[in-house]
């Protein structure tokens, strides 16, 4: 299956954001989540689709359980659950190759500072996830919190052992990514060339059109 262009991801995500404000019934959100799962599957992000779908189902179930007892908690959980389909569509952009994304969005005349910021964010968050995992492994290796309730009993130690090294790593990563961006010439005044082909294909147009039509059909479902 051909890879979708990042401009297609952007168009579908913007369509989803527009209809998201128009959907009022719970069934429409369920269908939008299903549509987002199909889109992630088409973008070859099956594991991401499975995780986010499971998270959506858990949040919806918890919100329904809390509805008879706590209205505020229901609103909070339901709001988070409603945002999951949008996150799923945006995940297709976040998992795109930054070089391909930059070459594609450069044709949309996106301002260069915005384009550099988006590419650095896409690079930053996956590395950040690995840093968090390595910090947790270091905490386990030192045996600081042998039981789960130790995190509640010693909040100051939790802050010192996790958030302090996490903050330091964030500062170092931002400096390293900034140096890498400068080395690769991302801030050069001329237009960057790329190895990735930029033109949109019929497959991209069909995908964007079909998903936009499906979202409109969901809007008019009783």
Of 6-15, 50-59, 139-148, the range with the lowest mean pLDDT is 139-148
114 lies in some domain: yes
Number of folded domains that form the chain: 2
Residues 81 and 16 in one domain: yes
CA–CA distance from 185 to each of 102, 105, 188 (Å)?
Answer: 13, 17, 5
Q: Which residues of 28-42 are buried (b: 16+ CB within 10 A; e: fewer)?
A: bbebbbebbbebbeb
Average pLDDT along the chain: 81
Phi and psi, residue 91, nearest 5°: -65, -30
Question: Domain limits at 113?
Answer: 109-184
193 lies in some domain: no
Residues 92 and 128 in one domain: no
Residues 143 and 205 in one domain: no
Q: What is the mean pLDDT of residues 148-172?
A: 77
Percent of the chain with pLDDT over 70: 86
Q: Does the pLDDT of residue 1 top 70, yes or no?
A: no
pLDDT attached to residue 222: 60
Residues 166 and 204 in one domain: no
Q: Are 10 and 104 in contact (CB under 8 A)?
A: no
Residues 12 and 49 in one domain: yes
pLDDT attached to residue 16: 92
Residues 36 and 72 in one domain: yes
168 lies in some domain: yes
pTM (predicted TM-score): 0.71
97 three-class SS: coil
Percent of the chain with pLDDT over 90: 22
pLDDT attached to residue 190: 65
Q: Does the pLDDT of residue 182 top 90, yes or no?
A: no
Q: What DSSP string runs through 186-198? A: TT-SSPPP-SS--
Q: What is the mean pLDDT of residues 16-20?
A: 91
């Amino acid at each position: 299956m051909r890879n979708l262009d990042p401009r297609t991801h952007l168009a579908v995500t913007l369509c989803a954001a527009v209809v998201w404000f128009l959907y009022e019934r719970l069934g429409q959100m369920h269908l939008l989540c299903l549509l987002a799962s199909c889109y992630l599957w088409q973008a070859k992000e099956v594991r991401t689709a499975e995780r986010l779908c499971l998270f959506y189902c858990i949040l919806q179930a918890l919100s329904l359980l809390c509805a008879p007892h706590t209205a505020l908690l229901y609103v909070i959980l339901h709001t988070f659950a409603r945002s999951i389909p949008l996150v799923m569509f945006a995940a297709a952009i976040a998992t795109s190759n930054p070089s391909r994304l930059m070459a594609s969005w450069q044709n949309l005349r996106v301002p260069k500072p915005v384009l550099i910021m988006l590419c650095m964010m896409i690079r930053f968050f996956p590395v950040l996830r690995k840093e968090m995992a390595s910090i947790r492994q270091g905490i386990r290796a030192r045996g600081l919190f042998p039981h789960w309730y130790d995190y509640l009993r010693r909040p100051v130690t939790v802050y010192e052992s996790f958030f302090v090294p996490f903050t330091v790593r964030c500062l170092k990563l931002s400096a390293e990514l900034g140096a890498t961006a400068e080395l690769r010439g991302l801030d050069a005044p001329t237009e960057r060339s790329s190895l990735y082909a930029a033109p949109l294909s019929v497959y991209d147009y069909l995908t964007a059109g079909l998903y936009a039509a499906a979202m409109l059909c969901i809007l008019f479902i009783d």
